[in-house]
Chain A
Amino acid sequence: MSVVRVENVDISITRGGIKIVENISFEIAPGEILGLVGESGSGKTTVSMALLGHTRKGAVIETGSILIDGHQIVGAKEEDLRALRGGIIAYVPQDPGTALNPGLRISKQIVESLEKHHPEQSAEVHMARVREILTEVALPSDKDFLMRYPHQLSGGQQQRVAIAIAFACRPKVIVCDEPTTGLDVTTQSRVLATIRALCREHGVAALYVSHDLAVVSELADNVAVMYAGKIVEIGNRDEIFFHSSHPYTRRLIRALPDIAGRNQILGIAGYAPMPWERPAGCAFAPRCADAQAICSQEAPAHTQITQTHFIDCHRYKDATKIAPTPRVDRDVVSASGDNFLLSISALDGFYGSRQVLFDTNIHIEPGECVALVGESGSGKTTLSRCIGGLHDDYTGEITYFGQVLGKHAMERKKEQRRDIQYIFQSPYASINPRRPIGATIGRQLDLFFGLKGSEAQMRIKELLDLVSLPHSIVTSFPDQLSGGERQRVAIARALAAQPKLIVCDEITSALDVSVQASVIETLNQLRESTQVGLLFVTHNLALTRTIADRVAVMRKGTIVEYGGIDSVFNSPKADYTSRLLEHTPSLK
């Protein structure tokens, strides 16, 4: 008996009637976890919120039926929804940092749903339950802890508090919206274990929304894949991850970085269409290698393959199976010190009186990619900012082709500033929103090479080709571009300077996996064709393996392990590295 039963749900924007999601159907049984995967704009969050009867402002559940433990959600009165929310069905937010109230103590935030849904119980019973649930999510439950505010907890603790809030009233269903996105791998794996255990023990049905297929593969019993507002494939875990027939699912899995380093990753060209630009027929057709005429004319039917496996595709029977491209092991033999592109020796970094980097030593050779991995607070971004000349509070030396670099970018020669380029994490914040893309890239050409006019235009087009962006983009403004396109613009801007070294600071963490894969492909090709060196900063170990030659593992400001990527990942020497590898989710 399913406790969640969703049938033919359409959700659309009230003004204009554009459908955000269409024809959504699935069921979840008690104790079962359904993973809902999809890239940004696929409508997965819209679907998950609909289970709680909540829609974004201006959107409405138009047709269909959502039964939660026998209660109809569609068209229910606000008052009846309030009785269900937090009691029968609870929500675990994506970012507990913003979803917990900064002005209320955590005990209050947990106890208030009990007060709301079980007013018949005494305050002592409520507090006893608060203590019990905190223990279940492996948090302390002493008075000192209960009296804390959210800002006095770490990110992992905050997420556990959010889970405790969700489970406080013993709900029958929980909805988790990417609850581990902002967490480090070790914390993530503990939070996932907590969610899994609570669902199993108490027979709670869970909808787990995520863009991270590896996480879903470790957690979910069944998986639904969403694309452009529709569930294009749904089945049990093995059917989706190992016997998928939908071209999109297959490509998505191939875009996933593999921690074991067996295969190369493969991006999907283009990007998922927004609700108002979805094409007729199958929405994936424009990006699909197997598409035929019928795909862009007729929407594919919902076809049953096995008892549990359904698919929406015209071509699932004879779609090409893409054989994974095996990855070649890439352990490099070090060149001699004179040829080092960049060399960092005995660097100690500080924020005022606090030391954050301890005796760091790294070198990068031309055309090489060195990955800097570590959890948040490990100092990896500080180190890359030192290299970029953005953080000058350090002692020790950074040399560039044997010459000591000035600490601040302003103390460096113009050629040095040109040769070392920096790409920031967020393409939303690092590109001037008031300049067209052409001007953003052209500025570099003018500044470093004095290129103007038609010459500059030619060069801009070459650069756009390099990062696979259409030429028409030069007159666009950043807000007209998707995240992946913006990050490519940032890469093109860095390449405009013809750099010898690019510092990439978590450049793919804001991107979808398919886009991430194509950005990585682009960088790998550039490395071969231009011999540019990369310092690739990331917390994603699996990703490291697809791009890096060597890796430095950082912990609390110290490099705990440094060596060739395959030797480090195959036989890690530091305990910390093994722990990171062990907690990194992967398809198994």
Chain B
Amino acid sequence: MKRIRDFFNQGGLLLFVVGRVLAGIPIVVALSLLVFMATQALPGDAAVAYLANTATPERLALIREQLHLNDPIWLQYIHWASGALRFDFGTTLTGETQVTTILAERIQNTLILMGSSGLVAIPLSIAIGVYSAVRRGKLFDNVSSLITLVLAALPEFVVAIFVVFLLATNVFQIFPAIAFIDPGTLAWSRPDMLVLPTLTLVLAVTPYVSRIMRGSMIEVMESEYIQMARLKGLSERTVILRHALPNAIAPTIQVIALQLAWLAGGVVVVEAVFAYPGIGTVMIDSVKGRDLPIVQAITLMIAALYVVLNILADIGTILSTPRLRTKYARKNVKSDVFAAMGGDE
């Protein structure tokens, strides 16, 4: 194990990424196993759900045969997993449509929602975090601390309802409360429909990231190199933007990635509130209808997204930390070894 690790560590960033992706595979396999078992454990019988009122013992037996429900469970898993590898999650129970066909359009809508939320939330929370750290103990810091604490304590569906109350129904009627997006069109053709779901997710994500950013920034601002920068006579603006911010962002990247991954799960609830046509609404409908192939496909995708975002976060951390970046950049290996040996003194 150690030698394999050494090999990847010496081989630069590309090999590191390959190594991390390879290490991600067993995790995804384990996740798929968990997802499969968990959906199997759901109460109810897919065959009963499928036939609903028309169930007779004969027809039930036939359907069970068609769905391989009589096979041993491990065989069912292998059958399903080998399909999943080819992005073939089978057909839905309620129709003859392919799961992937249904999901393709919905996934795009969800990604649009997640993307717009991330694009607003990340810069916003970094800005809030930095500014509260700089104004530590002052009015802005105290107020933003209070607001972010309240928001962090509220579940996102409460935030969603509050947003609807404020901006769509009772107080102002600016944006639609329900996202009517025609099937076959993508969400960005109706930006007004996107506003409230995005706002809800932004409000859900910003508190965490801004608080971590604030803490990280405060730690950096108290370091000796910041004092040194001030004693060089640099302006406070230069000290904050050039000396503190780049060093404070690296520890925050991991939290941003986790929050983005959380968005993928949080989106389910928010989509349901706004009836937004993404994977979240499909997911909820499918759970209600015991449409296992869809539930499995979506859960597996969200789980895989976690793994991917974590790998991206590691790469981001390396790229934003010179110490790590030079370790993985091949051409500088020599000078690193040099420094480690005590340089040329």
A377 touches B225 (CB 8 A): no
Instruction: Please tell me if the beta carbons of A151 and B339 are within 8 angstroms of each other in the complex.
Output: yes
Task: Report whether B234 and A154 are in contact in the complex, using a CB–CB cutoff of 8 Å.
Answer: no
Interface residues of A in 156-211 (CB under 8 A from B): 156-157, 165, 184, 186-187, 190
Q: Decide: A103 near B322, CB < 8 A? Known: A154-B343, A156-B343, A157-B345.
A: yes
CB-based contact A377/B342 at 8 Å? yes
Tell me whether A101 and B345 are in contact (CB under 8 A).
no
Q: A221 at the A/B interface (Cβ < 8 Å)?
A: no
Contact with A along B248-266 (1 / 0, CB 8 A): 0000000000000000000
Write the B211-246 contact mask toward A (1 if CB under 8 angstroms, else 0): 000000000000111011111111100100011001
CB within 8 Å for A86 and B232 given contacts A152-B339, A154-B342: yes
Specify which of B224, B230, B232, B322 is in contact with A149 (CB 8 Å cutoff). Answer: B322
A104 near B242 with CB under 8 A, answer: yes
* Any A CB within 8 A of the CB of B86: no
CB of B155 to closest CB in A, whole Å: 37
Contact, CB under 8 Å: A101 / B238 = no
Given contacts A85-B232, A112-B232, A144-B335, contact A151 B343 (CB under 8 A): no
Q: B residues within 8 A CB of A260?
A: none
* In contact, B343 and A153 (Cβ under 8 angstroms): yes
CA distance A186 to B232 in the complex (A): 29
Task: Count residues of chain A with CB under 8 A from any CB of chain B.
Answer: 41
> Does B56 belong to the interface (CB within 8 Å)?
no
Shortest beta-carbon distance, A130 to chain B, in Å? Answer: 14
CA A144 – CA B339 in complex, angstroms? 14
Question: For residue B71, which residues in chain A have a CB less than 8 angstroms away from its CB?
Answer: none
Interface residues of A in 66-107 (CB under 8 A from B): 81-87, 90-91, 93, 95, 98-104
A83 touches B233 (CB 8 A): yes
Contact of B238 among A112, A149, A187 (CB under 8 A): A112
Q: Are A154 and B2 in contact (CB under 8 A)?
A: no
User: Could you tell me the distance between the alpha carbons of A214 and B336 in the complex, rounded to whole angstroms?
Assistant: 34
Provide the bound-state CA to CA distance between A316 and B242, in Å: 53
In contact, B345 and A103 (Cβ under 8 angstroms): no
Which residues from chain A contact B332 at a C-beta distance below 8 Å?
152
Hey, what's the 0/1 contact readout for B307-339 against A, CB within 8 Å counting as 1?
000000000000001110010000010011011
Which residues of chain B are within 8 angstroms of A83 by Cβ–Cβ distance?
Answer: 233
- Interfacial chain B residues near A187, Cβ < 8 Å: 345
Which B-chain residue is minimally distant from A91 (CB atoms)?
B231
Q: A101-B225, A101-B247, A157-B345 are in contact. Are A152 and B233 (CB under 8 A)?
A: no
> Is there a chain B Cβ closer than 8 Å to A117's Cβ?
yes
Interface flag for B344 (CB, 8 Å): yes
Q: Is there contact, CB below 8 Å, between A154 and B322?
A: no
Once A104-B242, A149-B322, A186-B345 are accepted as A-B contacts, the answer to whether A99 and B234 lie under 8 Å apart by CB is: no
Contact of B335 with A152 in the complex, beta carbons under 8 Å: yes
Other-chain contact of A87, B233, B246, B345 (Cβ < 8 Å): B233
Given the complex of chains A and B, what is the CA–CA distance between A149 and B332 in angstroms?
11
Q: A98-B223, A151-B322, A151-B323 are in contact. Are A52 and B231 (CB under 8 A)?
A: yes
Complex alpha-carbon distance, A93 and B229, angstroms: 11
Let me know if A352 is at the binding interface, CB within 8 A: yes
**Cβ–Cβ < 8 Å partners of A99 in chain B:** 224-225, 227-228
Q: Which of B2, B230, B238, B323 contacts A102 (CB 8 A)?
A: B323
- Nearest Cβ in chain A — how far from B67, in angstroms? 54
| Cross-chain contact A116 with B234 (CB below 8 angstroms) | yes
- A363 interface contact, C-beta 8 A: no
- Separation of A82 and B228 alpha carbons in the complex (Å): 12
Query: Is A148 a contact of B335 with CB atoms below 8 Å?
Result: yes
Measured in the bound complex, the distance between the Cα atoms of B226 and A93 in whole Å is 12
Total A-B pairs in contact (CB under 8 Å)? 105
List B contacts of A117 (CB < 8 A). Answer: 233
Take A103-B322, A151-B323, A352-B2 as given contacts and tell me if A54 and B243 are in contact as well, using a CB distance cutoff of 8 Å. Answer: no
Return chain A residues, CB-CB under 8 Å to B232: 85-86, 90-91, 112-113, 116, 165
Nearest chain-A residue to B226 (Cβ)? A101
Residue of A nearest to B223 (CB): A98
Chain A contacts for B247, CB-based, 8 A: 101-103
Q: How far is the CA of A344 from the CA of B247 in the complex (A)?
A: 46
Contact A102:B233 (CB < 8 A) given known A144-B335, A151-B326, A154-B344: no
Query: When the two chains form their complex, are residues B228 and A93 in contact, meaning their CB atoms are under 8 A apart?
Result: yes
Q: Are B224 and A93 in contact (CB under 8 A)?
A: yes
**Could you say which residues of chain B place their CB within 8 Å of the CB of A52?**
231
Q: Given the known A-B contacts A100-B225, A352-B2, are A154 and B339 also in contact in the complex, defined by CB atoms under 8 Å? A: yes
Query: Which residues of chain B from 277 to 298 have any CB-CB distance to chain A below 8 Å in the complex?
Result: none
CA distance A113 to B242 in the complex (A): 13
Given A98-B225, A102-B247, A149-B326, A116 and B233 contact (CB-CB distance below 8 Å): yes
Q: A144 contacts which chain B residues (CB < 8 A)? A: 335
B229 to chain A, nearest CB (A): 7
Q: Which residue of B lies closest to A53 (CB)?
A: B231
A153 near B233 with CB under 8 A, answer no
Whether A85 lies near B230 (C-beta < 8 A) is yes
A377 and B225 CA atoms in complex are apart in Å by 25
For residue A523, give the distance in angstroms from its CB to the closest CB of chain B. Answer: 30
Residues of A within 8 A of B228 (CB): 91, 93, 99-101
CB contacts (< 8 Å) of A101 on chain B: these are 225, 228-229, 243, 247
Chain A hits for B336, CB < 8 A: 151-152
CB distance from A576 to the nearest CB of B (A): 14
Tell me the A267-303 residues at the B interface (CB within 8 Å): none
User: Which residue of chain A has its CB nearest to the CB of B323?
Assistant: A151
Quote the shortest CB–CB distance from A424 to chain B (angstroms): 23
Chain B residues with CB under 8 Å of A90's CB are: 231-232
Let me know if A156 and B345 touch, CB within 8 A.
yes
Q: Which residues of A contact B223 (CB under 8 A)?
A: 98
User: In whole angstroms, how far apart are the Cα atoms of A157 and B340 in the complex?
Assistant: 12
Instruction: Report whether A82 and B339 are in contact in the complex, using a CB–CB cutoff of 8 Å.
Output: no
Closest to B337 in A: A152
Residues of B within 8 A of A157 (CB): 339, 343-345
Closest to B232 in A: A86
Report the separation of the CA atoms of residues A184 and B229 in the bound assembly, to the nearest whole angstrom: 26
Contact with A along B47-67 (1 / 0, CB 8 A): 000000000000000000000
Q: What are 5 inter-chain pairs, A to B, with CB distance below 8 A? A: A151-B322, A151-B339, A153-B343, A154-B343, A157-B345
Q: Which 6 A-B pairs have the closest CB atoms?
A: A154-B343, A85-B233, A86-B233, A86-B232, A149-B322, A156-B345
Interface residues of B (CB under 8 A from A): 2, 223-225, 227-235, 238, 242-243, 246-247, 321-323, 326, 332, 335-336, 338-339, 341-345
Interface residues of A (CB under 8 A from B): 52, 54, 81-87, 90-91, 93, 95, 98-104, 112-113, 116-117, 144, 148-149, 151-154, 156-157, 165, 184, 186-187, 190, 352, 376-377
Given contacts A99-B225, A102-B225, A154-B345, 8 further A-B contacts (CB under 8 A): A81-B233, A86-B234, A101-B225, A101-B228, A101-B243, A151-B336, A152-B336, A154-B344
